[in-house]
Amino acid sequence: MPSLLFEHPLNERIRNYLKLEHLFQQLDNSSNYDIKTTYASFFSTLFSIIDTLERNDIRGDLIKELEKLEQNLVIWSQAPNVDNSRLEDNLKQTIALLCELKKTQQLWMQYKEDKFLTSLKQRFAMQGGTCAFDVPQLHFWLNQDPEQIQNELAEWMTMFNSISTSLFLILRFIRLRSDFEPIDTDSGFYQGNGESLSLLRIKTPDDAHYYPTVSGNKFRYSIRFVIPCVETGRRYLKQPITFELAKC
């Protein structure tokens, strides 16, 4: 049955990972269309990624995650009936990414040397600050040769390759920690123990008239299903439902 997937982090580290994953996907999507119509989305997303990386030690967290993954992959290689070729590919990728992340100078920091990007970043931080009369350099750039523009977009996105690839790999293995299982609730409410968990993944039927809201931390979490309401915005669902939950 078609379903709608909701994910909720149970710690700040996974929250940052999911935000960055969303931003990288948004950056990729906006670069695949005519940049004259998506430039606001592209540059806003680009600068949001840069701000997130500058304010958080994402690189340090990813290095720790990759080191743990490398250790686990070595252990899993001893298990019977393991797909050794696939495991070895993941191990090689993990080691290569570790080498890239441990380099002193990260590629994404090169944006500071790009005068065009640094001038735009200041304007995109202002509400309505990207009008043609405020940033004539952007208006000029948007009307350059399309091939040249695409090359520059690709170059800027390449700055984040080691970060984004590491992030997607780590999140893939986190999501593989648990399979979905059906959960029955009598009144649209469910709670559980969050100890040792990082991420909740919730599936509801895509035609359901309700959606989940989650609160919690590494100790406890609760899932309450709500329905849209014209008067109050939303109201709690108070009826038996079944949903699917993966506790990662």
Domains along the sequence of the chain with CATH: 12-174 (1.10.3900.10), 178-247 (2.60.440.10)
pLDDT at 159 over 80: yes
Predicted confidence (pLDDT) at residue 247 exceeds the cutoff of 90: yes
pLDDT of 61 > 90? The answer is: yes
Work out the average pLDDT over 19-40. Answer: 94
Q: Are 115 and 60 in contact (CB under 8 A)?
A: no
Q: How confident is the model at residue 214 (pLDDT cuts 50, 70, 90)?
A: very high
Mean pLDDT computed over 4-28: 96
**pLDDT higher at 85 or 63:** 63
Q: What is the pLDDT of residue 68?
A: 95
Position 183 confidence tier, pLDDT thresholds 50, 70, 90: very high
Residue 187 CB: number of other CB atoms within 10 A? 13
**pLDDT at residue 66 is higher than 70:** yes
**Residue 81 pLDDT > 80, yes or no?**
no
Is residue 1 scored above 70 in pLDDT?
no
**CA 229/CA 162 separation, integer angstroms:** 44
pTM: 0.92
Question: Would the pLDDT of 236 be above 80?
Answer: yes
